[in-house]
Amino acid sequence: MFAFLVRRVFAGVIMLIVMSLVVFGLFFASPVDVAAFACGKNCSPAIKEQTRKALGYDDPTLVQWKDFMVGIAKGREYPNDPELREAAPQLVASCDAPCFGYSQVNSRTVNEEISKAFPITVSLAVVALIIWLTVGIALGCIAALTKGSFLDRGLVGISLVFYAFPTFFIGLLLLKFVSIKWGLWDIPEYTSIADGGVGAWLYNLILPSVTLAVVFMAAYVRMTRAFVLEAMSEDYIRTAHSKGLSRGRVLRKHTLRAALTPLVTMAGLDFAGLLGGAIITEYVFNFNGLGKLAVDANQNYDLPTIIGLVVLAASFVILMNIIVDVLYAVIDPRVRLG
Amino acid sequence: MASKKKRMLAVTAGALLASTVLAACGSGDDDKKSEGAGETGGTLYFNVEKPIDHWDPQRTYVGTDISKQSRLVYRELVTFGTSEDAVESAKPLPDLATDTGTASDGGKVWQFTLRDGVKWEDGSDITCEDLKYGLSRNFATDVIVGGPAFYILSYLDIPADADGTPQYKGPYTKKGQDLFDKAVTCDGKTITYNFNKPWPDFNLAIAALHFASPYRAEKDQGDKSNYSVFSSGPYKLEGTWEKESGGTFVRNPEYDKATDDTDSRNALPDKIVFKMGTKLETTYDAILANKGDAACTVSDNRLPPSKFSEIPNVQDRYQNPDSPYADYLWFNTKKLPLEVRQALAMATNREGWIAAGGGERAYTPAYSVVNPAVAGYKEVPTYKDIPLAGDPDAAKKILDEAGIKTPYKIEIRYPQSETADKQAAALKDTWDKAGFTVTLSPEGDVYYSNIQKPDHNYDVGWAGWGADWPSPMTVLPPLFDSRANIQGGSLGQDYGKYEGKAFNDKITEAQNATDLDTQITLLQEADQILADDMVYMPLEIAKFNWVTGKNVDFHTTPGSNSFPDLGLIGLRNGGC
C-alpha cells in the first residue's frame, strides 16, 4: 500500500510540473499582447513595457516558470522587482508556500482568490453530489429491480431526456422561470454558513446544485441500473438467494457492494472534476467559485490565476484517483493494491 | 455575442465620462419620463455585469466607473455637473477648488486653490500635498497601470529619458523627485502645475479623468490599494470591496454639503449596494418583472436588443440617450487607392448597418468620428453628403472614372458577434453592388492585437472611440496622428496606417494653440483633411437603453456621459 501511494504521488507531482510548464507555454504563445490589453488605450510602447514589467511578464517564459515553481516550494513576495520592494515596502504582498502567484488583474494573491472561491465550489459540489448519488442510485436500483416494467422504462426514458439537457439550459430555465418569472425561489446568492447559517446556505445552493446534479443523476440512474443488473446475474448472488437470504439483504450486502465499485470510481472522478469548478453552473448563477474564477481569468488573460487553477484542478483529479484506487480495495475484496 | 462588442468598445472607448453628450443625447421621450424628484433614504441596488477593474482613482479609465467615483466617493478640483444639456455639462464646475482654475503663460501654467472645510472620511483635511501625491502616482508606471497617465506624462514639465518616459519615476522609488517637485508646487492651499506645452483645457481634462485626484500618501499600498476607497464624497465604503461580488456604500458623516456647490451629489439613497457579476439578462429579467430588490435596481449595462420589445411597457422608467461613442470604418490607406476608399465610403450602407444592429433605439447615424457631444463638434460635409443607405451607382462611377478594374476584392475585418455579422452583411450588400467582391472576416479576441500590427494587410475594419474629455484633441490625434501612433512595432490606434503630413501639421498647430476656440477650429479643419483623404467612414453613434426598477426615480442622464447618474438617482414609492 505504502509503495503504491508513493509511486502514485510521485507520478502525480511530475504530471503537475509538466502541466504547469505547458500552460505557461500556451499562454505566451497566444497572439494577444497581455500588456497591451492591461495598458488600455493611449498606451505608448514605453508605458506598455512598464505595464509588462508590472504584470511580471517581462522575463523569459522559462524564468517566469522557474519563479513560479520556486513560489510553490518556498513562497514569494510581490512586486517582482526587488529594488521596488526595498524602496517601498508598503507595496509588498507576501505569498506563503505553496504560492500560486499574484494576480494583477484582481490585485491579490492567487492563494487568496482560491481560498475565497473554493468554499463556494465545494459547497456546490457536495450538495450536488449528495443529490445525484442519492436520487441516481435509488432510482437506478428501482429500475433494475423492476426490469422491463413500465416504471423501469419510464425511469430510463426520463433519465435519457435529462441527460440530453445541457447544464446551461437547465440553469437558465430554473433561474428565469422558477426564480424570476414565477417567484417560487429567490434568485440564489451564495451565503456562507458563517454569514447566514445552514438554512440560508442550503437554500441558496439548491437551484444551482439541482442544475449541476440533474445531468449526473440521469447518467447514474442508467449506470446503476446496468451495474445492479450485471451483479444480480452473478453466481454468488444466486447462491445467496438459494441460502435463503432476503431480497433486501442480498441487495444491500452483495449486489450493491459489487455494483457500487465502478460507481465509486466515477463519482470520485466526477466530484474531483467539479472541485476544479462547475464552470457553467457557477457562471449562470453568478456563484464566484473556482469555475467562474477560471472563466474570468481566461477573459482577462490572468496567467497567475489560470496556472493556479489548472494546477489545483489537476491536483484534485490526481488525488481523487488515488483515493478511488484505495477505496476500490476497501469495497471490493477482489481488488488488491500492488 | 453582443457583450463582446461592448467589451471591445469598452477597451477602445475607455474613458467614457470625458465624452460629453450634447443636448441631442436626450431621448426625445421627455413627455414619457417621470419627473419625480426622488426621495431621500432607502437602499438602491446597482447591478454591474463585469467587475469594476479599479477603485483607485489614478487607475480608473472607464467612464461609467469615473462617474460612480465622482458622485459617491471622490471629489476633484473641478467636476462636471448633471445637466442634460451637453453645452452646460461640458463646463467644469469648482469642486474641491474655489474656482475652475487659472491658466497663465499661454496655458502652460495652471493654478487651483483648495476650498476650506473639505475633508477625507477620517475627518482630516484634504491638502495640497494630497493633490500633489495623487498626481505623482501616475509616474509610477510599473505599479499604477491601466489609468489615463498618458496625458500627464507627456504634458508635465519633466525631462524625458531616452525611451520617452519622464525622468521622474513616481513616489515609490522617488527617482527624479526633485524634477516633479519643480513641476508641481504647493503654496499653502494653492497648487501650481507647470506644463511643457500649452494645455488650454486642462481643467476639462481633470474634470473628466481622475489622474489628478488627491490621494492620501499613507493609504497608498500600490496595487494592494486597488480596491480600497478613502472617501472625500457623500458616501463611504462599508467594509471591503470584493471584486467579484461588490460592496455597500453608506453615508460619509465627514462630507459637508456646504462645501459642495455642484449639483452633482444629491446623495439621495441612504445606502447603495453594488452587485457585481449578475448576468445582463438576469438583471433585466428581474427589473422588467419587478421582483424583490429588482424594483430598486439600476444597472449601467445596456438593455439588450432582445428585450427592446418590452420597452413600451416600461416607458416611465426608460431612457434612450446617445452614447459618447462613435463607431467608424477605417480604410487601409497604404493598400487601397483613394478612389477605392471614396467608392467604399459612397456605397456604405449606414442605414442597413443601423437596422441590423437594433434600429433607431440602438444607433443614430454619425457624420464624424467626433461624437456630437464633444465641444466643437461639426458635421463633416463629405459624410453628410453620402446617402445613409449608400449610393452604389455613384460608387461604381468613381471606380470607373478612376479606371479601377472591377470586381475589386475587399475584405472587411471586425470583432465577431452575431450582431456584427449581420451589420457587416449589410455593408457587403451595397459594396458588392458597387463593383466590389466583399469577404467578411470576423475575428475573435485577437482583433485589436491584429489590426495594430504594422504589417497587417487588411483592407477595411471596424473601430469605435469615445473622447477622454470634451475636446476633439482626445479624438483625432489619438486615432490618426501617425507620429503618436506608429511607433515601437505598433500602429497604435492608426489602424489604417494613415500618415498625412497636412493632417499632422494641423494637429501640431492645434496642440500649440493657446486658446480653445483656435484649437477647435484647427481640429475641425483637420477632420475635413481626413475626409478628403477618406481615411475613415463614420457609421453611427451608439445609443444607450436604460431601464430601472419601478421604484427607482430615474428621469434624466447627464450630458457629460449619458450613464445612470448616482448623483441624481433616488428612490420613490417608499423604495423596497
State pLDDT tens for residues A218-238: 899 999 999 999 988 888 888
Do the Cβ atoms of B551 and B295 come closer than 8 Å?
yes
Q: Do B468 and A42 lie within an 8 Å CB cutoff?
A: yes
The residue-averaged pLDDT of A79-98 equals 92
Residue A106's contacts (CB-CB under 8 Å, 6 or more residues apart) are A113, A302, A305, B243
CA nearest to A117 within chain B: B244
Angle, helices B2-13/B418-433, rounded to nearest 10 degrees: 80
d(CA B233, CA B562): 21
Residue A333's contacts (CB-CB under 8 Å, 6 or more residues apart) are none
d(CA A281, CA A124): 9
Query: What is the grid cell recorded at B320?
Result: 434612450
CB contacts, 8 Å: A39 with chain B: 145-146
| Half-sphere exposure in the Cβ direction for B553 (13 Å, CA) | 22
Give me chain A's average pLDDT, please. Answer: 88
d(CA A288, CA A282): 7
Q: Which helix (H) or strand (E) holds B426?
A: helix B418-433
d(CA B313, CA B243): 34
Residue A138's contacts (CB-CB under 8 Å, 6 or more residues apart) are none
A262 pLDDT higher than 60: yes
The residue-averaged pLDDT of A292-319 equals 88
- A47, amino acid identity: I
**A191 touches B at CB < 8 Å:** no
CATH numbers and ranges of domains, chain B: 18-26+33-273+545-571 (3.40.190.10), 325-543 (3.10.105.10)
d(CA B40, CA B46): 17
d(CA B448, CA B232): 37
The residue-averaged pLDDT of B481-494 equals 89
> Given this structure, which CATH class describes domain A117-331?
mainly alpha
Substitution target in A30, A33, A37, A42 with the highest count of B β-carbons within 10 Å is A42
Identity of the highest mean pLDDT range in A244-253, B122-131, B147-156? B122-131
Residue A336: what pLDDT? 63
Residue B37: what pLDDT? 56
CA nearest to B227 within chain A: A107
Do the Cβ atoms of A101 and A77 come closer than 8 Å?
no
CB contacts, 8 Å: A49 with chain B: 163
pLDDT, tens only, B37-47: 578 899 999 99
The residue-averaged pLDDT of A316-324 equals 83
- A196, amino acid identity: G
Q: Do B145 and A91 lie within an 8 Å CB cutoff?
A: no
Residue B26: what pLDDT? 30
Q: How far is CA B564 from the centre of its chain?
A: 14
d(CA A308, CA A304): 6
pLDDT > 70 in chain B, percent: 94
ipTM, 2 decimals?
0.82
- A337 falls in which pLDDT band (50, 70, 90)? low
Residue B13: what pLDDT? 36
Looking at chain A, the domain(s) classified CATH 1.10.3720.10 span 117-331
CB contacts, 8 Å: A45 with chain B: 487-490
For B188, which DSSP code? T
Beta carbons within 10 angstroms of residue A44's beta carbon: 23
Beta carbons within 10 angstroms of residue A215's beta carbon: 19
Q: SS3 breakdown of chain A: % helix, strand, coil, rounded to 5? A: 75, 5, 20
Assign residue B462 a region (left: φ > 0; alpha: ψ between -120 and 50; beta: otherwise).
beta
| Closest to A137 in 3D by CA, of A28, A30, A262 | A262
pLDDT, tens only, A36-55: 777 777 777 888 888 888 87
A·B CB contacts under 8 A: 139
pLDDT, tens only, B141-187: 989 988 999 899 999 999 999 888 899 999 999 999 999 999 999 99
CB contacts, 8 Å: A50 with chain B: 141-142, 145, 165
- Least confident segment among B15-29, B110-124, B243-257, B355-369: B15-29
Q: Given A39, A108, A187, which is nearest B145 (Cβ)?
A: A39
CA nearest to B164 within chain A: A46
Q: Do A54 and B478 lie within an 8 Å CB cutoff?
A: no
Residue B554: what pLDDT? 87
Residue A303: what pLDDT? 87
* Backbone angles phi and psi of B570, in degrees to 5: -130, -170
Give me chain B's average pLDDT, please. Answer: 90
Look at B560 and A121; give whichever has higher pLDDT: A121
Output the DSSP codes for A161-226: HHHHS-HHHHHHHIIIIIIIIS-SSPPP----HHHHHHHHHHHHHHHHHHHHHHHHHHHHHHHHHH
d(CA B497, CA B330): 9
Residue B167: what pLDDT? 96
The single residue listed with the C-alpha cell 465624452 is: B19
Q: Do A176 and B174 lie within an 8 Å CB cutoff?
A: no
CB contacts, 8 Å: B452 with chain A: 36
Q: Do B488 and A48 lie within an 8 Å CB cutoff?
A: yes
| Closest to A315 in 3D by CA, of A279, A289, A277 | A277
CA nearest to B277 within chain A: A286
| Closest to B209 in 3D by CA, of B539, B468, B549 | B468
CB contacts, 8 Å: A305 with chain B: none
The residue-averaged pLDDT of A232-250 equals 87
Q: Do A41 and B12 lie within an 8 Å CB cutoff?
A: yes
- A338 falls in which pLDDT band (50, 70, 90)? low
**A104 touches B at CB < 8 Å:** yes
